[in-house]
Amino acid sequence: MLSFKILSIFPKYFVSPFMDGLIKDAIDRSDLTIDVMDIRDFTDDKHKTVDDTPYGGGPGMVMKPGPIVSAIRHAKSGEDDYRVIVFSPRGRKFDQKAAKACAAYRKFILVCGRYEGIDERVTRFYADEEISIGDYVLSGGEPAALVFIETVARLAPGFVGNSQSVIDESYENGLLEYPQYTKPRDFEGHAVPEVLLSGNHKDIQEWRSRQAWELTSQKRPDLLASSGTYTGDVPARSDKKSGGKNG
Ligand code: ADE
């Protein structure tokens, strides 16, 4: 059972995203629970204040530590096996490798910041990890929490019906996924590559792996550089042949 507890000041943001698709299926099977908690419920003043001006001056408001830490404590309800994650553009970049590392955990508390950020003491002393979903600035951590849940849940056994489709996906072996085609065989004069109609599994496999290499070197050459980011079992480059327009 996977469990995500989301702490946000905009709980309505999460109303529809979990009502469809594989996430809903997993919730219906009781393989997944998602609880959205409103940080304002953990304030102690009548205005439900969650933010204040920054010490040292400067623009904008900062989220106060008290309500967030109370919400984290409530979410844990005495259990220590939660992974507490704060979303922020300053965090460790979230990629497939990071998602796999996170998938080792089953229970998460996801803290969504707003305004200019959250009081540093929350991240330092009450969270296990600070994660960024990319080098850009969102208005808050809510979209990041959605991306995180979707990516980590996909890695849980049984979440995706056909486990081979997870293995073949982009990034799984350090490459982008090969191109896919379905019916019709000819769409407005654009034919499906002949090899895919051949029924020869070895040829199809070879074509797909060559395509994955070529697509990756065209679109994301950075993935091929031995940067150490991707540790997948990357096929040897010697299998790269020139195969005409479609191969
Ligand atoms: N909050 C604002 N920007 C963010 C980002 N890029 N990733 C995660 N949380 C964020």
Token representation of residue 165: 């489709």
Distance CA 108, CA 125 (A): 16
pLDDT at 164: 67
Q: Does 150 have pLDDT greater than 70?
A: yes
Best of 87, 93, 114, 142 for a ligand 1 pocket test (most atoms within 8 Å of beta carbon)? 87
Q: Does 208 have pLDDT greater than 70?
A: yes
Both 80 and 131 in one domain: the answer is: yes
Mean predicted confidence (pLDDT) in 222-243: 48
What would the pLDDT profile of 47-63 be if each residue is shown by its tens digit? 999 999 999 999 999 99
- Direct distance between the N- and C-terminal alpha carbons of the chain, in angstroms, rounded to an integer: 43
Both 211 and 103 in one domain: the answer is: no
Q: Which atom of ligand 1 is nearest to the CA of 113?
A: 1
Angle at 93 between CA 92 and CA 94, to 5 degrees: 110
Q: Cβ(63) to ligand 1 under 6 A?
A: no
In-domain check, residue 35: yes
Both 68 and 174 in one domain: the answer is: no
Residue 141 Cα to ligand 1 midpoint, Å, equals 5
In-domain check, residue 72: yes
Mean predicted confidence (pLDDT) in 30-35: 97
pLDDT at 106: 97
In-domain check, residue 78: yes
Q: Residue 168 — pLDDT band, cuts 50, 70, 90?
A: confident
List the one residue out of 40, 65, 34, 63 whose CA is nearest residue 51. Answer: 63
User: Residue 44 to residues 37, 48, 144, 217: CA-CA distances in angstroms?
Assistant: 16, 7, 28, 55
Best of 133, 136, 139, 142 for a ligand 1 pocket test (most atoms within 8 Å of beta carbon)? 133
Instruction: Pick 229 or 156 by higher pLDDT.
Output: 156
Q: What CATH number has the domain bearing residue 23? A: 3.40.1280.10
Q: Does 33 have pLDDT greater than 50?
A: yes
Q: Which atom of ligand 1 is nearest to the CA of 135?
A: 6
Best of 132, 148, 151 for a ligand 1 pocket test (most atoms within 8 Å of beta carbon)? 132
User: Residue 202 to residues 187, 215, 242: CA-CA distances in angstroms?
Assistant: 26, 20, 17
- Split into its structural domains, the chain has a count of 2
Q: Cβ(173) to ligand 1 under 6 A?
A: no
Both 7 and 99 in one domain: the answer is: yes
> Percent of the chain beyond pLDDT 90?
82
Both 108 and 16 in one domain: the answer is: yes
Mean predicted confidence (pLDDT) in 88-110: 96
In-domain check, residue 183: yes
Q: Does 109 have pLDDT greater than 60?
A: yes
Q: Residue with structure tokens 């020869």?
A: 200
Instruction: Pick 149 or 167 by higher pLDDT.
Output: 149
In-domain check, residue 247: no
Q: Cβ(88) to ligand 1 under 6 A?
A: yes
In-domain check, residue 115: yes
Distance CA 3, CA 82 (A): 9
Mean predicted confidence (pLDDT) in 189-218: 97
Q: Which atom of ligand 1 is nearest to the CA of 133?
A: 7
Mean predicted confidence (pLDDT) in 14-33: 97
pLDDT at 116: 86
Residue 2 Cα to ligand 1 midpoint, Å, equals 23
Both 147 and 173 in one domain: the answer is: no
Q: Does 98 have pLDDT greater than 60?
A: yes
Q: What CATH number has the domain bearing residue 237? A: 1.10.1270.20
In-domain check, residue 133: yes
pLDDT at 233: 41
Whole domain around residue 7: which residue ranges?
2-153
Both 91 and 148 in one domain: the answer is: yes
Q: Which atom of ligand 1 is nearest to the CA of 137?
A: 3
What would the pLDDT profile of 169-195 be if each residue is shown by its tens digit? 788 788 999 999 999 999 999 999 999
